Amino acid sequence: MCCESKRRFLLLYATQKGQAKAIAEEIWQQAGAHGLEADMHCMSEMDKYNLETEKDPVVIVISTTGTGDPPDTARKFVKKIQDKTLPPDHFAHLQYGLLGLGDSEYMFFCNGGRTVDRRLQELGAQHFYDTGLADDCVGLELVVDPWIDGLWLALKEALQLQKEKEGMNNAVNAISSSLSTDPHAVHELKLSSEVQNLKLEDEGARGSDILSQKQDDINLVSPARDAEPSLVHSVPPVSQSALNIPALPPEYIEVEFQDTQGENPHLSSLISEGTTFEVPVTKAVQLTREDAIKTALLLELDIADTAFEYQPGDAFCVICPNNVTEVEKLLRILGLSEKGDDFVCVKVKQGTKKKGASRPQHIPERSTLKFILTWCLEIRAIPKKAFLRALVECTSDAGEKRRLQELCSRQGASDYTHFIRDSNVCLLDLLHAFPSCKPSLSLLIEHLPKLQARSYSVSSSNLYQPGRLCFVFNVVEFPAGPSRPDSRRGVCTGWLAELVAPLLHPNKNSQGAKGESSSTEKISIFPRPNNAFHLPADPSVPFIMVGPGTGISPFIGFLQHR
């Protein structure tokens, strides 16, 4: 229930990989400091909110998936509002602000958010705050942070206008005291992913912690004035600034080790997208020469004994594990090397202050510790600022603690982008760079996102090769660098390359021609049809195909089909 003393607004999110949810949770968390109460729900929970009767302002955070589609959790909502029988004043009572997430490397940038925004406008809904479109290509935070900063003034204006309409002028004093003298200021907020267009003005804490340190203390932990900044070192002005850092996220997970034995969940239980199929890899071919800059592989899967169906142009997903060596390193740093095969029970911490806290859906209630770190958590994920803020509390060295504070602060936004985001730094890199940081297992479960299945285009035809499914990929390489002590391969492409190495380089004991084997190596896959990327139904229709590099992959299937 919302507190009566705080003004309510409805907060909806639709997420595919968890980013929109994390941003919505940040908004929910900051709301209290502004005298507001966010009534937060996933967009799919349509029994818990009703836009047809909603009187309070609505804030929407929505991502984009596939070829510009809304996320799976928004499909029912989008289908409902796209009903062509709805009148143009259906949502005339509704005030909303929308934050869309996308990636400008893809053609339909932020199309999930744009689709919802456009349709709400067509049905008469009004913006109380300008739409924000955040670009994951350059850093979501470049738009997300200032958008959230400006949200509170806009919400308070919208709530004041609402009260005035209801003839409740006597109740607006508390809110109006915090309003800007310029009532149109909020409408002048123009958001852009271009860094040079952003004006990040420090208007106080805005729900953050303000960290102040004496100048002497700062000088103690700062490098020499002429040193170059790096992941672990800062230079003025950041090194000498008082910092605005995010509020500490509330803890909400508890992990109990158990003595009992048992079996880990089946991989299919980790997937909510539908039926999974465990299929053997029957063939592997290296398409590039040994001296090529990139290594491209073609793999063939045997789907003859399954109900897996596809058309050329479709995609499918591979369920992949984290790298074994990296999991072992993480266990060692956590001091849990001896407990990797122990079963753990994951549950919500009693008395947590996190709203609607629940065990993450991608974490089994009971499994081995190694299973969670191998199959459930994206340990390669780029740490978000909220995670860095939580890691500060696990760090004992004063210099390391200060640097982590800088990296998650508003003043250190440029350093975060350069040394963490653009450098593809992951948790293991951070723990190597900040050795006094000793996070708990529960903290990792709270902050690391779900290990996502990786999507690949089908590069075969079910007419040309019945019972077979082929796909082509580059083995992704991440070279070692200042922020990364070891070179790495992509999570899935590296695992697949290692898995099929015996097929690529058969030894003298193996049977059959090179690239083929009676190998029993199997991978788990599930279909991801693509309704917008198929051959013309009429074979006489000419078409042009453009696919640089491994972009040629789906067109192999097109040509086979023709």
Separation CA 51–CA 162 (nearest Å): 16
Non-local CB neighbours of 486 within 8 Å, separated by 6+ positions:
480
Judged by average pLDDT, the poorest of 79-83, 241-245, 368-372, 479-483 is 479-483
Rounded to the nearest 5°, which phi and psi values hold at 308? -65, 125
Token pair, residue 216, equals 């002497």
CA 123 to chain centre: 30
Rounded to the nearest 5°, which phi and psi values hold at 398? -60, -45
Q: Is residue 152 part of a domain?
A: yes
Let me know: does 134 contact 147? Beta carbons within 8 Å.
yes
Q: pLDDT confidence of 181, banded at 50, 70, 90?
A: very low
Let me know: does 173 contact 119? Beta carbons within 8 Å.
no
Q: Is residue 106 part of a domain?
A: yes
Token pair, residue 364, equals 């089994």
Q: Is residue 260 part of a domain?
A: no
3-state secondary structure of 134: strand
Non-local CB neighbours of 221 within 8 Å, separated by 6+ positions:
398, 399, 402, 403
Separation CA 110–CA 136 (nearest Å): 10
Non-local CB neighbours of 216 within 8 Å, separated by 6+ positions:
none
The residue-averaged pLDDT of 98-114 equals 91
6 pLDDT above the threshold of 80 = no
Judged by average pLDDT, the poorest of 158-167, 447-456, 467-476 is 158-167
The residue-averaged pLDDT of 227-246 equals 92
Which residue would you say has higher pLDDT here, 507 or 415? 415
Rounded to the nearest 5°, which phi and psi values hold at 238? -60, -45
Judged by average pLDDT, the poorest of 223-227, 247-251, 470-474, 531-535 is 223-227
Token pair, residue 254, equals 């508890």
pLDDT averaged over the chain? 86
pLDDT score at 337? 95
Q: Is residue 339 part of a domain?
A: no
253-258, strands of its sheet edge to edge = 253-258, 343-348, 366-368
Question: How would you class 103 by CB atoms within 10 Å of its CB: exposed for 0-12, middle for 13-18, buried for 19 or more?
Answer: middle
458 pLDDT above the threshold of 80 = yes
Share of the chain above pLDDT 90, in %: 66
Render pLDDT for 286-345 as a digit per residue (tens, 0 to 9): 999 999 999 999 999 999 999 999 999 999 999 999 999 999 999 999 999 999 999 999
Which pTM value belongs to this model?
0.77
Q: Is residue 58 part of a domain?
A: yes
153 pLDDT above the threshold of 60 = yes
CATH number of domain containing 55? 3.40.50.360
Q: What is the DSSP string of 521-560?
A: -EEEEEEE--TTS---SSTTS-------GGGGHHHHHHHH
Let me know: does 295 contact 509? Beta carbons within 8 Å.
no
Q: Is residue 45 part of a domain?
A: yes
Alpha-helical segments (H) within 309-467: 324-333, 369-371, 385-392, 398-408, 413-416, 427-433, 441-447
206 pLDDT above the threshold of 50 = no
Judged by average pLDDT, the poorest of 78-87, 143-152, 179-188, 300-309 is 179-188
pLDDT score at 224? 44
Let me know: does 153 contact 176? Beta carbons within 8 Å.
no
Tell me, what DSSP letter sits at residue 228?
A: P
Separation CA 79–CA 69 (nearest Å): 12
Token pair, residue 304, equals 């003859």
- Domain range for 118 is 7-167
Q: Is residue 46 part of a domain?
A: yes
353 pLDDT above the threshold of 90 = no
Share of the chain above pLDDT 70, in %: 86
Separation CA 62–CA 64 (nearest Å): 7
Q: How many domains does the chain have?
A: 1
Q: Is residue 112 part of a domain?
A: yes
